[in-house]
Amino acid sequence: MKPSIKMASVFALSVLLTACQSDDPQADNASQASAVTVTQVTLLAPSSGDLAVDTLAATELPPVNGNRGGVSFSAPINHTAQLMAPTQLEQSSSDQYWRTVSGAELNQGIMLAVSQSDSVIRVAPRGDVSSGALRQSPAISPDQLRLYKVNKQTLDKSVSLIQSMSDPQAMATAGIVDDSSALRLSKRATPGMYQLQVVQPLSANDSYLVNVKEKGSPYQLTLSAPKHLSSQTPLLAFDLKLSNSDIDLSPTATLKQSDGRYHSLAVVKQGEQWQAQLPDDLTLPSSNLGLSEIQLDIETRVNGLPLIRTVKTAFKQYVPAAKLLDKANIHWQDTKPTQAVFDLQVASPGRYQVSAVLAGTDAQGKQGNILRAETAQWLDADGQISLSFDAEQLAASGLVAPYAIKALELKDQSQMARLSYLGEAASL
C-alpha cells in the first residue's frame, strides 16, 4: 500500500472513532434523563378525622363484589378543590315514636302519649314469619279506629278528637305504600295520654306498627352515632339529647342487623356519652349487603306531661380484613412521580380499592391538587396495589415539586366498607 493511501485510511478510521466517542455521552445523558428511580416514603400517622385499622380479622361472608379483574385510572381535579374527610358520624333527630303491638292489644286498647295537638297516628300491618312462612296481617280501615283521651284513669268519649282520616289507598297516593291508615288529631286533642282501640276485633296474633308523629314539637330527640362499626369494637358509642329539656334520659336500645333480625342491647352511660354493648355474636355483620340500624327509645315526663320518642340511624358493620402498611415506594421519571406502590396486609381474600390525590406546588409555593388516582384489584393474601400518575395530567397542571399524597383511602369492595383514610398521607 502506498504511504498516502495508508495515511488516508488511518485518518478516516480516527475520525470515525472520534465520532463514535462523541456520541456516547449524548446517549448516556438521554438514558439518564429517562431513567426510573424509586424512593421510599413513610406514611404519616393518622390525625383527627382520619380512620385507621389496628387489628386485622378474617371474614367468612361471601363477597358483594367478587370481580377478579383489576382496574386503574386517574383524573385531574381542581387545584383548589377541598378534600373533605369522609364523615364518621351520622346524626338523626326525631319528633315521633314507634310501637309494635298485637291484634289482641289493639282489641283491648293501647296507651299512647301525645305531647301536642295536630299530631298524626299511623297504623301499619306487619308480616310474621315465626311459623316459617310469611303471614301478613290485614290492613285496618281508619273508620275502625277509635281514639279516647284518658282523664284520671277514665276515658273521655264526649268529644271527637279526630280532624281527618286517611285510608291505605290515600296513603299510597301520598307515597306511603305499607297498607297503613292514619288519623290526624284535632286542636281539641290536648297533650296527655290517649287510648287507641279497634272497633272490629282482630286476630290476637296479628301484628301492627303504630307510629305517633308530632310534627313541629319542641321536643326533638337527637342521636349522633358512628356510620361504621368494626367487628373489633364491642361498644357502639353515641350521644343522645332531648331539645328544650335537661332531664336525665334512660334510653333502651335495639339493634336491627342487615338481615332483618332484632336484638335488645344493654346501655350504659360513661360521662356525657352513652354506650350500647354488643355481645360477641353481634359484633360481626350478618351480611355484607345492606346496613344495620341502632334504635333508641325513651319514655319520660317533661313539664308534668308524658313524652315518648324513638330515634334511629343506620350504620355499616364490617370486618377490618386488610390494612395499608406504613411504607410506600414512589417511582420517578424526569423528576416527576409516575407511580406509588402500597403494601397491603390481608387477613381475608377480597377485592380492595386504594385511592389518593397527588398534589404539587405552584410558582408562589402554594400546594394544589393535580389528580386523583384509583386502583381496585383482587388479593388472596398480602400483596401490593399501585396508583399510576398520568404524565400528561401532571404536566398540564403546571404544578411541580415538592409533591404530596393526600386523601389516601382503602376500601374493601367485597364488604362495601371503608377501612382506612389518611387526609395527609406522605410528602414526596
- From 205, 177, 110, 90, select the one nearest 150 (Cα to Cα): 110
pLDDT at res. 24:
52
> For the chain, which domains are there?
36-87+321-427 (2.60.40.3870), 96-213 (2.60.120.1370), 218-318 (2.60.40.1930)
| Distance from C-alpha of 166 to C-alpha of 150, rounded to nearest angstrom | 24
Q: Is 169 helix (H, G, I), strand (E, B) or coil?
A: helix
Which is more confident, 338 or 284?
338
Q: What average pLDDT does the chain have? A: 89
Q: Which long-range contacts (CB under 8 A, 24 or more apart) does 10-13 make?
A: none
Convert the pLDDT of each residue in 73-107 to its tens digit.
Answer: 999 999 999 999 999 999 999 999 999 999 999 99
Convert the pLDDT of each residue in 1-28 to its tens digit.
Answer: 444 444 444 334 343 334 444 455 454 5
- From 407, 397, 237, select the one nearest 313 (Cα to Cα): 237
CB atoms within 10 A of CB 277: 13
Contacts of 117 (CB under 8 A, 6+ apart): 185, 186, 187, 188, 189, 190, 191
| Distance from C-alpha of 364 to C-alpha of 144, rounded to nearest angstrom | 75
Alpha helices in 82-162 (DSSP H): 103-108
Instruction: Report the percent of the chain where pLDDT is more than 70.
Output: 89
351 strand-pairing partners? 378
Which is more confident, 45 or 152?
45
pTM of the entire predicted model: 0.81
Convert the pLDDT of each residue in 309-335 to its tens digit.
Answer: 999 999 999 999 999 999 999 999 999
Q: In which residue are the cell numbers 290536648 written?
A: 190
Convert the pLDDT of each residue in 205-239 to its tens digit.
Answer: 999 999 999 988 999 999 999 999 999 999 999 99
156 strand-pairing partners? 149
pLDDT at res. 120:
94
Q: How many Cα atoms occupy the beta-carbon half-sphere of 352 within 13 Å?
A: 28
Contacts of 53 (CB under 8 A, 6+ apart): 230, 320, 322, 323, 410, 419, 420
Q: How much is the average pLDDT of 147-165?
A: 78
